[in-house]
Structure 1
Amino acid sequence: MKQMLADVQAKPDTRGISLAEVGIEDLHYPLLIADGQGGKREVAATVTMSVSLTADVKGAHLSRFIDVLNEWRDQFGPGNTLSMVDELRRRMGSRSARAKVSFPYFLERRAPVSGIPSFVDYACELEATVLDTGFELTQQVDVPVTSVCPCSKAISDRGAHNQRGHVTIGARPLDPRGDLWFDDLIDIAESSGSSPVYSLLKRSDERYVTMAAYDNPLFVEDIARNVALALQADGRIAEYRVRIVNDESIHNHAAYAAIPWTAVATDSWSGNGD
């Protein structure tokens, strides 16, 4: 005879306090993420998942978070992430549910002169929130670039100081089940700096990259505006935010520029999942 085990989480709570988020975080899990080439790639993701609890519910069944994640692990993309979070909300009987999935995303980059391939990693993130009244989806990338200081170039007899910059783009797609890929946001970021960053460069490549960056000097403000213009011109994006940080090479500080969430389309985000 099967023993009936007590379900403590399902018991009512009488303290009258609702909870906005209850869940799991810092879970490391292998996922298959859709890429911009029509395929899938396995990533080692860090996952946060949560649901809301009304005042009368004592606790959440934490095992269900892993159940739902594992069921969806081989079909991750923006639209599917929303569907997964909505399933989590319904299975938990909650008014809202949220998931944030962070992972390194590798793209092959060929050196500009030798053409030798190598891979560059980009920090990417998907965050989805589903309520019983609507949803919100954010795609984010963090992309390394090179920037050359225009002021240093203008005042120096020889050379100019340069630095490693990080371009962080957050985007909310007009159609969460559409075709806005991490690859597209990464391309926008890389094209907005003085030069992309490569894992492998031969001497001919290094010469090319150094001179190309020198011919395209940009302040951190320039990079932020370049990114914003490219995002505004992309008809797939409803809202965006931008943050650029340069690790200064001759100063004991970093320089940054930021643009908060900015709407692109007037009809952006009905938020009803249709």
Structure 2
Amino acid sequence: MTISEIKGESLQDVQALPDTRGIALDEVGVEGLRYPLLISDARGNKRETVATVAMSVSLADHVKGAHLSRFVDVLHTWRDRLSSQAVTLMADDLRQRMGCATARVALTFPYFLERLAPVTGIASFMDYTCTLTAAASDRGDEVVLAVKVPVTSVCPCSKAISDRGAHNQRGWVTIDARPHTPATGLWFDHLIDIAEAAGSSPVYALLKRPDERHVTMAGYDNPVFVEDMIRTVAGALNHDVRIAEYRIRVVNDESIHNHAAYAQIPWTLTATSRDSTDG
């Protein structure tokens, strides 16, 4: 095989052939791709992770197919400098290289933060499932940050009716937030802090006996329903000037019932967004 053949200069480009059916496609791409990445934390430090990736572009009605190899090529180019702003540039790079109207990138990955035990101060890493989604088009760029955060929740009803103790369980707080612009500075760390503050207690990877005693009693002193947690999260998000829109879902994996309890709020404009719209 010659060098020109290796470069594809003498090979037929089937994807670029015309299509005569006149049907445009909103999304064509790849999904389920696992790839190592370096992603920034709120302080700008780079953290290693492995993401499950979905990338897509729109396809004009006269184009037969998308060049799938270019998706991975773009991902590899941007893999070591991902942030809220960089991922929108990555989506726009994909859009330009594919010659399409819109491009979308979604990265789901474990995001690790160092947490200190509440009494002993011993450090350990907690992992949170996060998704960073960006879309680029002629109309502009958009980014969405999503976190799924474990918390402990103690049941207020159980505490109120019991002579001793109260049942508690693992809860999950999922937040999707759309910043006003990618440059607002909103990041996963901020959403994780809001979610953890809404539960009876945060969850830790490492606790010594004094820490476990503290966490158990702190949770007992702060019982919450899923309704309490979601309202607390909504209150914090609603007045965050960096956020344009949000949605929330809270689920308790009930420990004494054969079901889960949940509450959710659909996509909702923040107070700052409503004020700007009214003005």
**What band does the TM-score fall into relative to the shorter chain?**
over 0.9
Q: Give the TM-score normalised by structure 2.
A: 0.94
Tell me the amino acid that sits aligned with residue 124 of structure 2: S
Find the counterpart in structure 1 of residue 68 from structure 2.
62
1:175 CA displacement: 2.4
Does residue 19 (structure 1) correspond to residue 20 (structure 2)? The answer is no
Kept in 1: contact 2:142–2:181 (CA 8 A): no
Q: Distance in 2 between matches of 1:97 and 1:269?
A: 28
1:178 partnered with 2:184: yes
Q: Equivalent of 2:144, from 120, 138, 141?
A: 138
After superposition, give the CA deviation of every residue in 1:109-139 in whole Å (9 maximum; x if it has no partner): 1111111111110000001112222232100
CA distance change for structure 1 residues 173 and 154 in 2, over 3 Å: closer, same or farther? same
Query: Separation in 1 of the partners of 2:138 and 2:43?
Result: 33
Give, in whole Å, the separation in 1 of the partners of 2:147 and 2:273: 24
Three-state SS of the structure 2 residue aligned to 1:16 is coil
Is the helix fraction higher in 1 or 2?
2
Deviations 1:153-189 (A, max 9, x none): 0011111000100000111112212211111110000
Partners of 1:72 and 1:53 in 2: CA distance: 23
Identical pairs, percent = 66
Deviations 1:223-262 (Å, cap 9, x if unpaired)? 0000001111211111111100000000000000001111
Instruction: Count matched residues.
Output: 270
Q: Distance in 1 between matches of 2:266 and 2:276?
A: 17
SS in 2 for 1:120: strand
For normalisation by structure 1, the TM-score amounts to 0.95
> Are the aligned partners of 1:238 and 1:268 in contact in 2 as well (CA < 8 Å)?
no
Instruction: Name the CA distance, whole Å, in 2 between partners of 1:178 and 1:236.
Output: 6
* Residues 262/20 of structure 1: CA separation in 2 closer, same or farther (3 Å cut): same
CA distance in 2: counterparts of 1:12 and 1:73, whole angstroms: 33
Please tell me the root mean square deviation across aligned C-alpha atoms, in Å: 1.5
Q: Distance in 2 between matches of 1:191 and 1:138?
A: 21
1:248 is matched with which residue: 213, 237, 254?
254
In structure 2, what is the Cα distance between the partners aligned to 1:252 and 1:85? 43
Q: Secondary structure at the match of 1:217?
A: coil
CA contact (8 A) 1:231 1:237 kept: yes
Q: 1:73 aligned to 53, 75, 79, which one?
A: 79
**Aligned-partner Cα distance in 1 for 2:26–2:180:** 27
Distance change (3 Å), C-alpha of 1:74 and 1:269: farther
Distance 1:124 1:222 in 2: 23
Name the amino acid aligned to 2:69.
S
Structure 1: stretches of 5+ with no match in the other structure: none
